[in-house]
Amino acid sequence: MSRHSEIREMEKKYVYGTWRYENTWNPVIMESGEGCYVTDMDGKRYLDFSSQLMCSNLGHKNQAVIDAITEQANKLCYVAPGFGTVPAAMLGKKLEEITQEGLVKSFLTNGGSEANEAAIKIARMYTGKGKFISRYRSYHGATSGAIALTGDPRTQHAVGMGGVVRAPDCYCYRCPFGKEYPGCGITCVEIIDEIIRMEGPNSVAGVVIEPIVGSNGILVPVDEYVPRLREICDDHEILLIADEVMSGFGRTGKMFCMEHWDVTPDIMSMAKGITGAFLPVGATITSHAIADHFDQPGNLFSHGQTYAMHPMGCAAAIASIKEYEDKKIVENAAKMGRYMEKRLKELMESHKSIGEVRGKGLFWGVELVKDRETKEPFATRKEKFLPTIQKKMSAAAMEKGVYLVNIINHFIVAPPLIVTEKEIDEGIAVLDEVLAIADRETV
């Protein structure tokens, strides 16, 4: 038995996989990574065309981030969150500087789920109200509150908190109201206004959105959607909460996705790209009004974690943000995003199995259909965890040296933000090949 096979069997025996039938898990064991590539134990190299889980924004083996982690480890690896540290103070200040004006104070945590848990608790403490409105195709994390907000099939075995009401998404390709933009009146956002009225504004703490829906299809709202949602929240005096865990830190060609519509949320959660996934870090940044509320005597900030404000994670985040700024990585994401859009639309012209491509920056979804006329999908939500043609295609891409995330009925094309045109062409060439598998099954 090869060393690769030995480690694979050891991992399968002693470690649970995630979101999968354990008896089907047969992982490739990765050993190293550099730039836009990862390499397995047999020395085979793969183009990382989805930034792992849309988080390795800086690519792999960024030396500046590695050096920052090493330097901090040699000073102080950990202290209890009741103490302050230089990295935590500096990261908090930096987040105030790079986010939209009006977002000022952050809770620093361990990842996206925890950042959304903090957002839930902060919103409830601040408003004194308990309900939230989220959307059916959202994903906000796996912990109790985050999974309750989540609308995708991963909720099937979850017992999360109560008090969540879901709304339809802005999904023009499959409009839940059977309408077409722009004559639709943006019903998908106006229905949220109606839901708030029916639930009672005095009971709703906030509306939680992914500005661009991530795992469930890279659903890009029409330009009127987010500004109108801000108006609705203001009209009812409830909070707008933006989950930028996946869309933040340059992924869409802006530092944060909400900048595309010049809309500032009351609370914004972030993770993934905050360190480029070099260490698990998340943050929940809040408005002046919320920060001022907790500065008042008697208003307890009733939340915390053992690893909150972890100094090594904060050091990695500071170094990562410096890389985004110094190397103009967000600008590269915007530029390469335009090239990616061109190449994906070329693929659509030559592959009848592509129903739609959509995205911003380096955050793209390729939705597959059996029939372009009827838009019949290859897989439905209830088949998320079953073998599908998309899984077969991703496996074929891996054989050809390209890692590409598939979820339900689409691929997520989201390479590291340092990607070049040459690397995009390499990934597109393999995607071009594997799409032939789906083409053979189309009408």
Question: Which residues make Cβ contacts (< 8 Å) with residue 380, sequence separation at least 6?
Answer: 408, 409
Residue 24 is predicted with a pLDDT of 84
Residues 13 and 96 in one domain: no
The rounded mean pLDDT for the chain is 95
- Give the pLDDT confidence of 401-425 residue by residue, as tens digits: 999 999 889 999 999 999 999 999 9
Q: What is the pTM of this model?
A: 0.96
* Block residue for tokens 């919103």: 123
Q: Which CATH number covers residue 301?
A: 3.40.640.10
> Are the C-beta atoms of residues 282 and 271 closer than 8 Å to each other?
yes
- Domain count across the chain: 2
Residues 332 and 277 in one domain: no
Domain containing 16: what range?
3-61+328-439
Residues 168 and 223 in one domain: yes
- Give the pLDDT confidence of 69-79 residue by residue, as tens digits: 999 999 999 99
- Res. 380: pLDDT tops 90: no
Closest by alpha carbon to 361, among 207, 212, 191?
212
Residue 315 is predicted with a pLDDT of 98
- Res. 157: pLDDT tops 70: no
Q: Which of 291, 307, 326 is the last residue of a domain?
A: 326
Q: Which of 326, 346, 373 is the last residue of a domain?
A: 326
- Give the pLDDT confidence of 244-280 residue by residue, as tens digits: 999 999 999 999 999 999 999 999 999 999 999 999 9
3-class secondary structure per residue, the chain: CCHHHHHHHHHHHHCCCCCCCHHHCCCCCEEEEEECEEEECCCCEEEECCHHHHCCCCCECCHHHHHHHHHHHHHCCCCCCCCCCHHHHHHHHHHHHHCCCCEEEEEEECCHHHHHHHHHHHHHHHHCCCEEEEECCCCCCCCHHHHHHCCCHHHCCCCCCCCEEEECCCCHHHCCCCCCCCCCCCHHHHHHHHHHHHHCHHHEEEEEECCCECCCCCECCCCCHHHHHHHHHHHHCCEEEEECCCCCCCCCCCCCHHHHHCCCCCEEEECHHHCCCCCCCEEEEEEHHHHHHHHCCCCCCCCCCCCCCCHHHHHHHHHHHHHHHHCCHHHHHHHHHHHHHHHHHHHHHHCCCEEEEEEECCEEEEEEEEECCCCEECCCHHHCCCCCHHHHHHHHHHHCCEECEEECCEEEECCCCCCCHHHHHHHHHHHHHHHHHHHCCCC
Higher pLDDT, 28 or 380: 28
Residues 183 and 49 in one domain: no
Q: Which of 326, 343, 365 is the last residue of a domain?
A: 326
At 429, the pLDDT band (50, 70, 90 cuts) reads very high
Cα angle 148-153-154, degrees, rounded to a multiple of 5: 60
